[in-house]
Structures are given as structure tokens and as C-alpha cells.
Structure 1
Amino acid sequence: MRFVRPFRLLTSLAAAAVLLAPASMLSARAQAVQPVQQAAAVAEAAKPAAAKPAPSPTVGAASAAAVDPANSAPPKSLTATAIDTVKEVAKSAGGIFSRVPCLPPKGGVRPVGSLPHVAGKLAAGEPVVIVAFGSSSTQGYGTTSPEFTYPNRLAKQLRRQYPTADITIINRGKGGEDAPEMMKRLQPEVLDMKPDLVIWQVGTNAVLRDLDPAETAHQVEDGVARIQAAGADVVLVDPQYSPRVTERAESASKIVRLLRRIAELRHVGIFPRFEVMREWHDQQALPIDSFVIADGLHMNDWGYACFAQLLGDDIIRSVGQIKLGVNAPVSPLTNRPM
């Protein structure tokens, strides 16, 4: 029987996860990682020298210990007990890799609204197609890896929530665009995908390019109407709260108000990204550079993760209410612990 060491893998993964958190939250992460390191040290000290082979470069968590089912299990040694401790601590710390420690606004935000098409498909066990439509923050500019884009993070969250469902999220983000360019792509890149839900992030580049807010709103409303006519739910996502947007405060405020108005008129959802990110900074005291990269515009890995997580929470809550027959807007976002 040969034992290999899972400890380096576990502590490395936990340490890597800390890098995704803003500075004000690192202490909480350190508390989650510390028990893993302590348990690992106990197990390492308990091993005799002959039982400490060099680590294999291909070892994964699933191969942490070899087990022979044909032999009866002997009483657990100190080493085996320590290994079990590491496994249990790792399970409890597993939320680090699926949720980030971010909070919604304390007073709640406007809910995304009901999503009857998505809820109906999930209830019937049918495949669900979601299209993430937008510009560079949908495409994922500012992330360190494609897996950290908000559509990819959202997909993982929804698949964890609905493990038996066939959920596809298609990323249709293209940097630099706003409503005029997106409307040209709406049919071939969105509607032709036969989506059940379109998450439309729009308005940031309208602010940066000094586009007429009223004309932008007219185009977005037309697009929403076409998406609804195609039989899909809609969630609008307004601009991000970042220095390059807030330096044009009047234009940004107009776009945010107009998008909310469209959501009300067309009875669709809206995720108030601007409001959520402003609260991170103003009320939760997070420095701007803890969720925005050096260009002063795009979110970093943590910012995208928190955005996707809160959006996913609201989608899940809305679907749950519709499946229960409650055709009303979902309640405001509330904090969910990791």
C-alpha cells in the first residue's frame, strides 16, 4: 500500500483562492486556510521517514490515498486520522472555490424579476439556453483566465444549483460595442440561438462615447421587445461603477435611469450593477482597485466573481418562486454565506 501526499495540493489551492479576494477580506480567508495547514503539519510529522515518497506531479485530490477494498480495515493510525482531518477541513473550505465572500447592498436592490421561460424549462426537465449579450465586460476583459468571465462563473453556479439540468450559457460579448452595434448582432448571434434567457449588459460604452442616452434607450427597448417576441426572458445589466464611468456622472446617471425605466415598461428584469458596485466602495469600504483593474474601467477576477454570484443568486431565487407558482418579482437580494 502506498500513500501519496495531498497536503501540498490542498494548501496551494486554498492559497490561490485567497488571491481572488479584496484586501479587506483576506483575514477571513486566512482563517479558512489555517486549519488545513495545521492538519497537514500533524500528518506530516506523524509519518515515518520510509512512508514519505516524493510527490507525484500528476497526483490529484481523488488519488490522495490508495485503498484496498479486499483487506479488512485496520484501526486508523495517527497518520490516517490526520489525513481524514485534512479531507474534512478541505470540504468545509470548499466554498472558497465556488463562492467568493462578497455582500449585496445592505438595503437590498431591485430584483431581476420573474423568469417564467427559464423556470418552465427547468420544471419540465428541458434544456435551458442562456445568451450573455454585451460588450467587453461580458467578453471578460480584465480576467486572468477565460474561466473567470462572468458567464462562465454563472454557468458553474447554475449547474451546481440544478445538477440534473442541461444548461448552456453562450457568451456573445464583444468589446467596444453598445446598442447600435449590438442591434446588428441581435438576430444572428442571439435570437438565432433560440435562447430561454438573454442577459443584456449595455450602456457603458454609450457613456464613454457620449452617445445620446435617449437614442440608446430607444434601441434597447426595441431590442428587448424583439427578444420577448422570440419567447425569451430578459435581464438587463446596467453600467459598472468605475472611475472612467463615474467621471461622466451625468451621462451615467441618465443611462442607469433609462434602463430601469425600460425594465419597468417591458416587465423584464434588471441587475443594477452600478448600484451594487457603488455600495462595495461607499458602504463596504472596498478600495476601487480591489474590484477594478488599472485601466479604471473593467472589473478584476474578484469583481466578476461577485457580480456573477449575486446575479446567479437572484436568478435562482426568481426561478424558485416561479416554480412554486408565485408570479411576482423576487424579493431583494439578501446575503448568503459561503
Structure 2
Amino acid sequence: MVRRMAVPQNPAPARLMPGLRRAGAGALLLLLAGSPAGAQDAVGPSLECRVPGSQLYTVATLPASKVALTEKHALRILAVGGSAAPGASASYPVRLESALEHALPQVDVVMEHRGLPGEIASGAAERLRTLVAEADPDLVVWQVGTHDAIARVDPGAFKDALDDAVAWLKSHGIDVVLVDPLYTASVAGDADYNRIVDSVKEVAAKQGIPLVRRFEALRYLASRNEKGESHILGRQFRLNDLGLRCMAEHVALTVAASIGQTPPPAPKATPTAKPAPSDSPG
């Protein structure tokens, strides 16, 4: 049964993403734009989650989201993937909503999270039509590939299902951001797991959409801490509290950077008034 997640009015503590709260989106995007490689230097709103841009994301335009910001109406986001079951992972959409509102001040973010434990891409793709009709999103943020890799789904079939689903969303004027699979040292050398990670990257490149490189970001964070991956991963191959906070910050940073690189929508044409009919004889 798909559960609609209620979002509290004050979903996260004020300490979440302090850098973005102080600087605002304008300063962040100026920082990103200042790098000729698209923010390849280390960027990030908190020290615990800071990852070099080259290992964190690839950016692309988000036209529907840009329209929402330009026209100053609510930015409706549908978060797909992961689990909506009670527990630490259920806090992710709340954290993401708060992170985005700090990254994009003056914008009301409306978040819907629809995740099912263990869901693979083909199953999520089948649900998308219903989810989109219910949530009417401007943007879909899709955590994808982890369960497919664990279930040993054929990488070719996975890639085709993901590609078709993303193409369908784009054909309906909906922006998409993909979040690739989780990282642990136990799967770092697994060829099949890495094929799934590569497939997500290839679909994002083919479809011209932003990608949060979670696999590489978590690998980087694990290598920078004496505790290794245990400081960002909990039990049962899930992110712990810090890992979820980092993922929310990484997604928000990717969305903000991508919107910053999206041209503003073309002005709407003003209808031309028809001339009044003349009383003179023709």
C-alpha cells in the first residue's frame, strides 16, 4: 500500500545546511558559476558532507523547476525510491524539503515521498503514471538502482526501464534528477553492481538530466573518515542519520546548481488586440 507522507510545518532544525541559510542561493550559485568546470572544487554546505563537485554531481537544465521559481509558485517535488517505512530513512524527504528551502529562499517547496522497501526500477516505472497524476510534480527526484543491483537485475533491462521512464516524465514536462546507488566497500569491486551504477550515469547523460553521484560521494566521505563507511551507513545497507543529511544536502545542491544554469523561460506572448471594424464602406 502506498502511503502519503505528511510533512510537518517545521520539518528540520535550523542547523541544517547552515552555509546555504547564511549565504542564500544567490551566493551559492555565484560560487558554482565561478568555477570554469562547473564547481569542480570542493563545495558543500557542511564540513561533514563536503565532496568535490567532480565526485558529487553532474548538472543539467531543469526548465519546469525554473518556471516555478520565475513565476513564484510552489515547487512541487515527488521523491521516488528508498523506503517510506518508519525509521531513519523516513526523515529523508523532510530533510530534503528543508535543504531545498534553504538553498532556494523565497520558494515554497511542496514535497511528496513515495517509496517502497526493495522496489526495483521497473516496478517504480509502472507506478509513475499514477504517482504523477496524484502529485502533479514539477520535479521528480529518483533514488534508483540500489535494490536492482542487490536483486541482480540484468543491467540492460534495468537501463531500458529507467531510460523509458525518464523519457516519459520529460515528455510530460516534468524535470528529473537521478540519485545513483549506495556505496559500501563490500560492493566497490562488484562488476554487476558497478554496471548498475554506470547505467544510471549513462541514462542521465543520454536524457540530459542532473545526476547526484551518491556512489562516488559516499566513497569519498568514507575515505576521509577514520571510521570509514560506518559513520554514514547504518544497518541493512541503509544510510544513518548523517548519511541521510548528506544526501539531502547533495540533492539540494545539485538542484540549486542546475536551476542556476537553466535559462529563464521565454516571456509569454501578449495577445495582439484586433483592430476595430471600420464603418467606412470598403
Relative distance call for 1:197 and 1:215 in structure 2 (3 A) is: same
Q: For the residues of structure 1 that align with 2:49 and 2:179, how far apart are their CA atoms?
A: 18
Q: What is the rounded CA distance, in whole Å, between the counterparts of 1:141 and 1:208 in structure 2?
A: 22
- How much does 1:171 deviate? 0.3
The 5-angstrom pairing of residues 129-168 of structure 1 reads: 129-136=76-83, 139=84, 143=88, 146=90, 149-168=91-110
Alpha-carbon separation, structure 2, partners of 1:323 and 1:316:
13
1:1-150 to structure 2, matched below 5 A, reads: 101-105=48-52, 107-136=54-83, 139=84, 143=88, 146=90, 149-150=91-92
Q: TM-score, normalised by structure 2?
A: 0.72
Q: Which residue of 1 aligns with 2:150?
A: 208
1:105 CA drift (Å): 3.1
Q: 1:156 to 1:110 in 2, by over 3 A?
A: closer
Residues 103/153 of structure 1: CA separation in 2 closer, same or farther (3 Å cut): same
Query: In the TM superposition, what is the alpha-carbon distance from 1:208 to its structure 2 partner?
Result: 0.9
Segment of structure 1 superposing worse, 188-197 or 316-325: 316-325
Q: How much does 1:286 deviate?
A: 4.7
Residue 254 (structure 2) aligned to one of 314, 326, 334: 314
Q: How many Å apart are 1:130 and its aligned residue?
A: 0.6
User: 1:238-273: per-residue Cα shift (whole Å, max 9, x none)?
Assistant: 1000256x1771111101111111111111111110
Given that residues 104 and 256 in structure 2 are in contact (C-alpha distance below 8 angstroms), is that contact kept between their aligned partners in structure 1?
A: no
* CA-atom RMSD in angstroms: 2.7
Q: Does structure 1 residue 267 correspond to structure 2 residue 208?
A: yes
> How far apart, in 1, do the equivalents of 2:49 and 2:188 lie?
25
**Closer/same/farther in 2, CA of residues 108 and 239 from structure 1, 3 Å limit:** closer
Give the drift of 1:201: 1.0
Aligned residues: 225
Identity of aligned residues (%): 29
Which of 116, 132, 137 is the matching residue for 1:195? 137
Aligned twin of 1:332 = none
Q: 1:108 to 1:160 in 2, by over 3 A?
A: same
CA–CA distance in structure 1, aligned partners of residues 195 and 215 of structure 2: 12
Aligned pair in 2 of structure 1 residues 247, 268: CA closer, same or farther (>3 Å)?
closer
Which secondary structure does the structure 2 equivalent of 1:199 belong to? strand
Report the CA distance between 1:317 and its aligned residue: 1.9
Q: Does the 8 A contact of 2:188 with 2:194 survive in 1?
A: no
Task: Pick closer, same or farther for the CA change 1:288–1:108 going to 2, 3 Å.
Answer: closer
Which ranges of structure 2 fall in alignment gaps of 5 or more residues?
Answer: 1-12, 17-44, 266-282
Instruction: Please tell me whether the aligned partners of residues 201 and 238 of structure 1 are also in contact (alpha carbons under 8 angstroms).
Output: yes
Aligned to 2:106, the other structure's residue is in SS state coil
Aligned to 2:280: none
Counterparts of 1:242 and 1:108 in 2: how far apart (Å)? 16
| Structure of larger gyration radius | 1
Q: Where does residue 272 of structure 2 map in the other structure?
A: none
C-alpha separation in 1, matches of 2:94 and 2:166? 23
- Structure showing the higher helix proportion among its residues: 1
